[in-house]
Structure 1
Amino acid sequence: MSNQPTASKEEDEIAPPQRPPSPLHTPPSLREAPTFSAFRPRDIRIQSPQSMNHVAWSCDGKRLGAVGIDKAVRLWNPEKSMELRAATMFSGGYQDEVDYIAWNPTHPDLFCASGQKDRKIVFFDTRQSRSVQSLQLRAFPVQLNYSPDGKTVLYTTSGKQLYGMTCSKQGEETKEQWHLWDKDPIPASTVTFNHAGDGLILTHQSEATIRILDYPSLSIVHATPAHVGGCVAAALDPRGRYLASGGHDSIVNLFDLSEWICTRTITACDNAINALSFSHDGEFLAIANAGSYIDICATETGIPLHRVPALGSSPTVAWHPSKYVIAYCGQTKIREGGPPPSAWISLFGPGM
């Protein structure tokens, strides 16, 4: 008879299997990638001498907002219709065109929009017909970015300066209002919050370096060279693995955030980069540029997967927050003897 102690019941039991990995972290080799070549763009043309400037999805993906014409914000529900007459219009008292729209990441009904020429940012609630609050600025706002908690909005200006505002109660106010910062501006062309909300990613059109700042102290934590001739766009992988940057040099760099090194360079584009956007699972990167197309590349390899034809150059591109659908917009080119230019907004991907 063996003198070895008998294993306890607990030791004999087989440990329950771990929960399978979520789709967000399933390796690409174990997933079926969408067949992008099977999709066709859905183009919506709008007769207007102005361009459609920017598009953005609400945090739940049920609404798509677009700005640039008619001195107002248009909202669609793409699952129902993308016809022009199906759009809901929101006017913030703009006297000129609206340039940018940003959705609150914590509430699907809240968003804000900015107009450079009017020098103001207006906040909206889709459940109300009128705007919630309008802030007049001294500078000309270009880009907007919400903090992850929806309590701060940072904006960059045509003068390449970064400013901010916070939502809070001050003095005898009975409800929270947006208040402009009294801090000194910081040089930047674009700004992006990290996912934790304690860091900022800044690019500058005239500088080759990307700067990482601590928030709210705004002290510089890290700076890394990125693009010859200036860095004009940046996007953060939803998984927090990569930072993508694009520049006038038509190159897109992918930085590994754990070591802050450039792990791969994407040279698929033939034109200067305008905007970048990661898919909801981080596996694909959409690239808008000065050419009449959108490139879609694989994040882990940098391999170009598909080139989406566009009606013109798009200043922006945005992946749906949970589907393989991108939205982009712009204005058709002026051709001698041809029809007048028109604004357009497009969707690419499987049917909504």
Structure 2
Amino acid sequence: MVTKTSSSKLPVDSFFKTPASAQDFLTRKDRSRVTDVESANYVRSIAWNIDGTSLFAGTDKSVSVLNLDGSSKLRFKSNLNGHDDAVDSISASKTSVTNFASCSADKTIRLWDSRSPKSTSKYSTKDANLYLTYTPDDNHIIYADKGDNIGIIDLRAGEITKTTTFKEETNEIVVAPGGKHAFVAMSGGKVEVLSIPDLTSVRTIRAHPLMSSCQSLCMSPDSQYLAVGASDACCSIWDLSSLTCVKTLQRLDYPVRSVSYSHCGNLIATGSEDQFIDVAWASTGEKIVEVPLSTECYCVAWHPRFYLLAYATAAERDHRGNNAATVRVYGYNS
């Protein structure tokens, strides 16, 4: 189904070659650093750029840029205004360190250059938007909206070239490295495989029970596995060469909203309404660590080069009683 990348090419630090060494490392580096996001009530979505120097965040009314400094501290840089409603999904360019895309409940998709305060392009859609992602060559963006429409934008032509409507709820989307297939999480416990760019269904993966909804997806860095988070509080891991489930993570009590692989592919983080993020050894499902939270988790994202886990949660109150929007990064010395 997908073209594989040799796992030997993936960067793996010595501490992350076995579950025991990973547990030891993260036991010593168990601190989360907090970065305030100015002029926002909450952060709904996050995405690292391709080299991990910046984190893009979608908030209740804008997108924000945070930069990682020389000491690996995340610092707020700026808000980029343009959306009129909540920004539910962010996708970083696969080829540029400054470009990214966002989609919002305001029925628009916008393209950004983090060096500019205004969006570089805007596309109007049929309904409030939920998820989007670039294809590997950055030539297309695929998105899902609340009307259960999947659409594709041809960025070279500058237009939406195809939309298709499903009877099932449509959720997160990931694209295979070859750029020929998209995986769409859906209700009915399934993941639909669509061809690109015509969005024709080519395969259905029955990933979770019929009464559950698949909500979140993440492909492993070597392209061999697909993690599927669902409303049944489980995360299943699928071998894409055989389309068989090889492991199921079952330590959460609430729907799995977000899932992320580490850059080496050995660790997988899952976030939900549970007041912790579960970090597991991907091949065995063994628990490596729990990242404690004071409220529910919206999204998780491993850094593309370091063992740092960014995450955003429901807003907490500051000392004035106002909602405080923050992004946290886990993996620092105590």
> For the superposition of Structure 1 and Structure 2, which TM-score range results when normalised by the shorter chain?
0.7 to 0.9
Going from structure 1 to structure 2, the CA distance change for 1:33 and 1:42 (only over 3 Å counts) comes to same
Alignment of 1:12-51 (within 5 A): 21-24=8-11, 28-29=17-18, 33=22, 35-38=25-28, 39-45=30-36, 50-51=41-42
Once residues 118 and 214 of structure 2 are traced to their aligned partners in structure 1, the CA distance between those partners, rounded to angstroms, is: 37
Q: Which moved more, 1:290-299 or 1:97-106?
A: 97-106
SS in 1 for 2:87: coil
The one-letter code matched in structure 2 to 1:109 is T
2:175 pairs, out of 160, 184, 193, with 193
The normalised TM-score by structure 1 is 0.82
* 1:106 to 2:98 alignment: no
Aligned match of 2:299: 316
Q: Is the 8 A contact 1:250 1:267 kept in 2?
A: yes
The one-letter code matched in structure 2 to 1:60 is D
1:61 pairs, out of 41, 52, 55, with 52
CA deviation string 1:310-349 (max 9, x = no partner)? 2321221111111111111122468xxx945432211011
Going from structure 1 to structure 2, the CA distance change for 1:305 and 1:203 (only over 3 Å counts) comes to same
List alignment gaps of at least 5 residues for structure 2: 1-7
Once residues 38 and 175 of structure 2 are traced to their aligned partners in structure 1, the CA distance between those partners, rounded to angstroms, is: 36
Aligned match of 1:237: 220
1:296 pairs, out of 262, 279, 289, with 279
Aligned match of 1:18: none
Deviation at 1:112, TM superposition (A): 1.4
- How many pairs were matched up? 317
Once residues 38 and 9 of structure 2 are traced to their aligned partners in structure 1, the CA distance between those partners, rounded to angstroms, is: 44
Once residues 332 and 91 of structure 1 are traced to their aligned partners in structure 2, the CA distance between those partners, rounded to angstroms, is: 20
The normalised TM-score by structure 2 is 0.86
Aligned match of 1:329: 312
Detail structure 1 runs of 4+ shifted over 6 Å in the superposition: none
Aligned match of 2:204: 223
The one-letter code matched in structure 1 to 2:196 is Y
CA deviation string 1:187-244 (max 9, x = no partner)? 522221011111111111x311222222234333322222221211111111112111
Q: Whose radius of gyration is greater, 1 or 2?
A: 1
Once residues 73 and 109 of structure 1 are traced to their aligned partners in structure 2, the CA distance between those partners, rounded to angstroms, is: 13
Q: Is the 8 A contact 1:48 1:341 kept in 2?
A: no
Deviation at 1:153, TM superposition (A): 0.5
1:142 pairs, out of 130, 140, 146, with 130
Q: What is the identity percentage for the equivalent residue pairs of Structure 1 and Structure 2?
A: 23
SS in 2 for 1:36: helix
Aligned match of 2:156: 168
The one-letter code matched in structure 1 to 2:52 is G
Once residues 300 and 78 of structure 2 are traced to their aligned partners in structure 1, the CA distance between those partners, rounded to angstroms, is: 21
List alignment gaps of at least 5 residues for structure 1: 1-20, 170-177
Aligned match of 2:161: 181
Q: Is the 8 A contact 1:227 1:248 kept in 2?
A: no
Deviation at 1:46, TM superposition (A): 5.5
Deviation at 1:182, TM superposition (A): 3.9
SS in 1 for 2:164: coil
Q: Is the 8 A contact 2:194 2:203 kept in 1?
A: yes
Q: Is the 8 A contact 1:54 1:100 kept in 2?
A: yes
Once residues 350 and 333 of structure 1 are traced to their aligned partners in structure 2, the CA distance between those partners, rounded to angstroms, is: 22
Q: Identify, as 1 or 2, the structure richer in strand.
A: 2
SS in 2 for 1:33: helix
SS in 1 for 2:194: strand
Deviation at 1:24, TM superposition (A): 4.1
SS in 2 for 1:77: strand
Once residues 225 and 182 of structure 1 are traced to their aligned partners in structure 2, the CA distance between those partners, rounded to angstroms, is: 25
Once residues 329 and 165 of structure 2 are traced to their aligned partners in structure 1, the CA distance between those partners, rounded to angstroms, is: 36
Aligned match of 2:325: 343
Once residues 193 and 87 of structure 1 are traced to their aligned partners in structure 2, the CA distance between those partners, rounded to angstroms, is: 29
Q: Is the 8 A contact 2:310 2:329 kept in 1?
A: yes
SS in 2 for 1:195: coil
CA deviation string 1:109-128 (max 9, x = no partner)? 11111220x21111111233
Aligned match of 1:124: 112
Q: Is the 8 A contact 1:161 1:189 kept in 2?
A: no
The one-letter code matched in structure 2 to 1:214 is S
